[in-house]
Structure 1
Amino acid sequence: MNAVEAMPLPRLARIYAMDAWYEFLRVLRMPGAALPMLVFPAMFYLLFGVVFAGKNAQQAVYVLGSMAAFGVMSPGLFGFGIGVAVDRERGLLMLKRALPVPPGAYLAAKMVMALLFALLIFVILAALAVTVGAVRLAPLQWLGLLGAMLLGALPFCAIGLLIGSRASAQAAPALANLIYLPMSFLSGLWVPMNAMPHLLQQIAPLWPAWYLGELSLRAVGMARAPAWPPIAALLLFTAVFFALAVRRLRRSG
């Protein structure tokens, strides 16, 4: 039994918690990473859900759901993915393997960081929706939207991990943007799907962001489809991309 396996459970939990907190602070103190993740969803909500919506309450609620989905994609793709690429290139992953810390603490810390940013994005969007958007949702709807955002962050953490496992620190931001922006558009997060060309409507289920958008819109009462198909799809995307990323990391040493 090694030193890590012999650690008492409370000490092991403290290591995981501290690693996650320091990872969150590290990203929060990087304006180039934290500000776009927090500001862009709020900015687009104000533009489309307040300025363009006017007194259209339904549009304000619809934009809240779609911008929640749009916003929660970025912590995984950028905070997680680019961070792994930088750490891998600097040799930090090799160093972590040599340290007497739990082997899963590194990935768990980045996952918790992404979820904490998802929570911050939710708080910012909810505050804007209630104050300037005049959105009124039932408590269970707010909880449902928060749950959709936290669940929806997972597949993009897995995609980010795959990006970080393969791309260099210089290429990772460009690759993340090539996934983030086109997928957001193709999934109907900027333009309602029924206003999109028929071909794009047909291929929308190929993108995890589409399922996230469906789940978020259902949470705010703008979609009536059952919740379990998008939940199952998001979990499947998470498992597939995570498995591919871990396999790549093991091969790279």
Structure 2
Amino acid sequence: MTVTVSPLTPLVAHTRAQVLDLIRTPIAIISTTIFPTLAFLFFVLPQGAITDNAVASLSVVAQLGVFGVMSAYLFGYGIGVAEERANPWTTYLRTLPIGPFPMTVARFLTAALASFLSLLPLVLAVALLTKAPEAFTSGELSWARIPFALAMVLIAATPFLAMGLCIGYLLSSKAAVAVAQVLNFPLAFIGGLMLPPEMFPGWLDVVSLATPARAARDIVIWALTGEQMPGSTLPVLLGWTVALTALAVWANRRDEGRRFR
């Protein structure tokens, strides 16, 4: 008797396993979830000039939202993939005739869940402690911009997903931790996620515009507030996405060639 298995069955199984693994490591959830909110509470909330301005508050939540998702992707993929490569069970799973699709998509869904969780306390804190909601209640901005901006955060962070895969497939788990940490904060600073680019000197602003973090920031702020984004935003974001995705694919094939030859 032939048993027909739905193509979604392996995907559901892998997603469930990875979500359970994430839940069983609460520190991983707390670290990626709470840091953007802490950054808001310590560095933004004391600045009345920002919190009393609805649009400025929305720009801040956009910046920190991108930072939270970027961190989730860099650490979730970079460290997670590197640890899985050293895990005999994961090595066995990669030899099964189901292809890389279920594991890859399951990892993406799990990272997206972690990213969404990182946005919830930040959005709640900004809504309660700033005048950001007035931008929508006054009719200045449409409520539809909120789900649009949330979706745009995940899309704009795609280069960091590919960057995390590159780290995971090219480095050991110990090296991946160090590299993810080294990349995370400098990218956040130079991309205008910690300080607004308006505070940058001219030369630093030019460098910032060429980074994926700045492109992600600008496109999310545009989605949330309607503020005009630089003309370089889309080409830079697309260029980094294509380049890092190509590197991630090469790194994956290189890893398979070395370990499954």
The bucket for the TM-score relative to the shorter chain is: 0.7 to 0.9
What is the RMSD computed on CA atoms of the aligned residues?
Answer: 2.3
AA of the residue aligned to 2:100: P
* Aligned match for 2:69, one of 72, 91, 110: 72
* Aligned match for 2:108, one of 106, 111, 136: 111
Question: 1:62·1:222 contact (CA, 8 Å) conserved in 2?
Answer: no
Question: 2:53·2:131 contact (CA, 8 Å) conserved in 1?
Answer: no
Alignment correspondent of 1:173: 177
- Of stretches 81-90 and 230-239 in structure 1, the one that deviates more from structure 2 is 230-239
Deviation readout 1:33-58 (Å, 9 max, x if unpaired): 22111000111122334232353434
Q: Distance in 2 between matches of 1:245 and 1:252?
A: 10
Q: Distance in 2 between matches of 1:91 and 1:200?
A: 45
Question: 2:55·2:225 contact (CA, 8 Å) conserved in 1?
Answer: no
Q: Distance in 2 between matches of 1:197 and 1:28?
A: 43
Question: 2:53·2:132 contact (CA, 8 Å) conserved in 1?
Answer: no
Seq. identity, %? 28
Question: 2:57·2:126 contact (CA, 8 Å) conserved in 1?
Answer: yes
* Aligned match for 2:148, one of 139, 144, 165: 144
SS state at 1:98 partner = coil
Question: 1:57·1:135 contact (CA, 8 Å) conserved in 2?
Answer: yes
TM-score by length of structure 1 reads: 0.87
Structure 1 residue 41 corresponds to structure 2 residue 36: yes
When residues 207 and 37 of structure 1 are mapped into structure 2, their CA distance, relative to the original with a 3 A threshold, is same
* Aligned match for 1:251, one of 239, 254, 261: 254
Q: Give the paired residue count.
A: 246
Question: 1:145·1:219 contact (CA, 8 Å) conserved in 2?
Answer: yes
SS state at 2:86 partner = helix
Gapped runs of 5+ residues in structure 1?
none
Gapped runs of 5+ residues in structure 2?
137-141, 257-261
Alignment correspondent of 1:161: 165
- Of stretches 82-91 and 161-170 in structure 1, the one that deviates more from structure 2 is 82-91
TM-score by length of structure 2 reads: 0.85
Q: Distance in 1 between matches of 2:42 and 2:76?
A: 25
Compute the displacement of 1:235 (Å): 4.1
SS state at 1:51 partner = coil
When residues 143 and 232 of structure 1 are mapped into structure 2, their CA distance, relative to the original with a 3 A threshold, is farther
Q: Distance in 1 between matches of 2:13 and 2:146?
A: 29
Deviation readout 1:179-209 (Å, 9 max, x if unpaired): 1100110011111112112211111122111
Question: 2:209·2:232 contact (CA, 8 Å) conserved in 1?
Answer: no
